[in-house]
A and B are shown apart, each in its own frame.
Chain A
Amino acid sequence: YHVLAKHDEL
Chain B
Amino acid sequence: MNIFRLLGDLSHLVAIIILLLKIWKTRSCAGISGKSQILFAIVYTTRYLDLFTTYVSTYNTFMKLVFIMTSIVTIFLMNAKFKATYDHNHDTFRIEFLILPALVLALLINNEFTIIEVLWTFSIYLESVAILPQLFLVSKTGEAESITSHYLFALGSYRGLYLLNWVYRYYAEDHYDLIAIVAGLVQTILYCDFFYLYITKVLKGKKLQLPA
Contacts and interface: CB of A to CB of B under 8 A. Distances in A.
B60 interface: yes
A4 B120 CA distance: 14
Contacts of B162: 9
B9 interface: yes
Contacts of A8: 56-57, 60
27 contacts: A1-B174, A1-B175, A1-B176, A2-B174, A2-B175, A3-B111, A3-B175, A3-B176, A4-B175, A4-B177, A6-B50, A6-B54, A7-B47, A7-B50, A7-B54, A7-B56, A7-B177, A8-B56, A9-B5, A9-B162, A9-B165, A9-B180, A10-B9, A10-B12, A10-B60, A10-B64, A10-B67
B63 interface: yes
Interface string B143-181: 000000000000000000010010000100011111010
B176 A7 contact: no
Interface residues of B, number: 23
Contacts of B63: 10
A8 B29 CA distance: 33
**A interface bracket (residues with beta carbon within 8 Å of B):** under 10
B154 to A, nearest CB: 15
Contacts of B56: 6-8
A3 to B, nearest CB: 5
Contacts of B180: 9
A10 B50 CA distance: 11
A9 B178 CA distance: 14
Contacts of A9: 5, 162, 165, 180
Contacts of A10: 9, 12, 60, 63-64, 67
A9 B111 CA distance: 16
B177 A3 contact: yes
Nearest to A3: B177
Nearest to A8: B56
B47 to A, nearest CB: 8
B155 to A, nearest CB: 13
A4 B174 CA distance: 10
